[in-house]
């Protein structure tokens, strides 16, 4: 004989079963607890790795980039300076009556020389400032 036959048939009248809504099914937990935990730890460790390694790689890269750009502009400034020097020598050889053309040529050659030298100096100073920070 069954001790409580009333309980088997009475479940249909409980409130959660009478409305037809059932609580959402929870996904079965994984067989091994470590699967989810290791994935979260790997993500956390990856973030920590990136947080420490990226600045350590980016800073020397920026320093090298600024030094490389400074070197390129220094080469341009030297090339422009040679041409400007030749124009200065030509200006010294010309008579004072015909001085307008050499002055214009000299000023046209001096502007890129000064600009390239300025960019070279500021690039080297920026690289030094980054290395000291």
Mean pLDDT taken over the chain:
80
On whether the CB atoms of residues 18 and 12 are closer than 8 A, the answer is: yes
H helices of the chain, in order, are 5-10, 15-18, 34-93, 100-132
Q: How far apart are CA 114 and CA 122, in angstroms?
A: 12
The pLDDT score that the predictor gives to residue 127 is 95
Q: How many CB atoms lie within 10 A of CB 123?
A: 20
Which residue, chain included where needed, has tokens 């050499």?
A: 102
The pLDDT score that the predictor gives to residue 18 is 57
The pLDDT score that the predictor gives to residue 4 is 57
Prediction pTM value: 0.60
Q: Which of 17-21, 28-32, 52-56, 98-102 has the highest mean pLDDT?
A: 52-56
The pLDDT score that the predictor gives to residue 93 is 82
68-116, pLDDT tens digit by residue? 999 999 999 999 999 999 988 888 887 667 667 778 888 899 999 999 9
* Cβ contacts of 66 within 8 Å, gap of 6 or more: 123, 124, 126, 127, 130
The pLDDT score that the predictor gives to residue 42 is 76
Which residue, chain included where needed, has tokens 């400074």?
A: 70
* Cβ contacts of 16 within 8 Å, gap of 6 or more: 22, 23
For the cut 70, the answer to whether the pLDDT of residue 34 exceeds it is no
Instruction: Tokens for 125, please give them.
Output: 């100073």
Mean pLDDT in residue range 110-130: 96
The candidate with the shortest Cα–Cα distance to 81, out of 114, 40, 104, 46, is 114
On whether the CB atoms of residues 73 and 116 are closer than 8 A, the answer is: yes
For the cut 80, the answer to whether the pLDDT of residue 5 exceeds it is no
The pLDDT score that the predictor gives to residue 25 is 66
């Amino acid at each position: 004989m069954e001790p409580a036959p009333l309980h088997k048939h009475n479940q249909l009248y409980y409130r959660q079963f009478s409305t037809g809504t059932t609580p959402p099914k929870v996904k079965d937990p994984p067989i091994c607890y470590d699967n989810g935990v290791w994935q979260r730890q790997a993500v956390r460790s990856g973030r920590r790795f990136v947080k420490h390694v990226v600045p350590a790689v980016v800073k020397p890269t920026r320093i090298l980039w600024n030094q490389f750009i400074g070197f390129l502009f220094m080469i341009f400034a030297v090339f422009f300076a040679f041409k400007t020097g030749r124009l200065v020598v030509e200006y010294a050889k010309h008579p004072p009556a015909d001085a307008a053309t050499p002055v214009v040529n000299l000023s046209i050659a001096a502007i890129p020389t000064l600009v390239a030298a300025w960019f070279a100096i500021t690039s080297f100073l920026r690289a030094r400032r980054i290395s000291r920070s």
